[in-house]
Amino acid sequence: MKKLVVVFLASIIVTVVLGGCSSNSVVDDSEWNTAKKTGKFEIQVTSAELIDNNLNTDVGHETLKLAVQAKNISKEAVPIGSGDFYLKDEDGKKYTFTGSESSLGDVVKAGKTIEGYGYYSIPKESKKMMIVYNPFQSTDQLKWEMTVPGKK
């Protein structure tokens, strides 16, 4: 009987501990972590999380931080930056990059990879978003569907 009680209590503790390890950056039903290609870049959004941002003064909004990795698959140096990405909600409203010191942005040499972040002010009630890569003066466009972390 004692062994049964010990096993039961151990299973409850494991369940509670594993449940407490969940994070706002884990998104199970989204495609954001899928690498996609244009003629110039292979791009992957490697993480998405809601963060505290005292600089975000938009009333009723919160800051979504996206980590992006982009490999230049062309034969020439090509620019890429957080401004090449925007978010679109289920109603079609766009949310553009809000800026930060640790933002993604540089001219990437052929064969090289860049990593960085994009910060977006989105409404607190947002649950689903589309991440769109659409560089300035280009017809290239990539899209990823995502559920906002912690908003299932």
Kindly report, residue by residue over 102-151, the tens digit of the pLDDT.
Answer: 788 999 999 999 999 999 999 999 999 999 999 988 888 999 999 999 88
**CA nearest to 132, candidates 99, 83, 98:** 83
77, 106 Cβ separation under 8 angstroms: no
**CA nearest to 122, candidates 144, 97, 100:** 97
pLDDT at 107: 97
CATH no. for residue 139? 2.60.40.1240
pLDDT at 103: 84
Read off the pLDDT of each residue in 90-110 and give the average, rounded to a whole number.
89
> 8 lies in a domain?
no
User: Percent of the chain at pLDDT above 90?
Assistant: 62
88, 95 Cβ separation under 8 angstroms: yes
Q: Which residues contact 69 (CB under 8 A, 6 or more apart)?
A: 43, 44, 46, 113, 114, 115
> 5 lies in a domain?
no
As a whole number of angstroms, the distance between CA 125 and CA 63 comes to 12
Specify the higher pLDDT residue, 53 or 78.
Answer: 78
Q: Is the pLDDT of residue 23 over 50?
A: no
> 74 lies in a domain?
yes
As a whole number of angstroms, the distance between CA 17 and CA 53 comes to 28
Q: Is the pLDDT of residue 93 over 90?
A: yes
pLDDT at 3: 43
Q: Is the pLDDT of residue 56 over 60?
A: yes
Both tokens assigned to 134: 């659409």
Q: CA end-to-end span of the chain, whole Å? A: 40
Number of domains composing the chain: 1
> 88 lies in a domain?
yes
Q: What is the pTM of this model?
A: 0.76
Strands annotated E in 52-139:
61-72, 78-81, 85-89, 94-96, 105-108, 113-123, 128-133
> 62 lies in a domain?
yes
Range of the domain at 79: 25-147
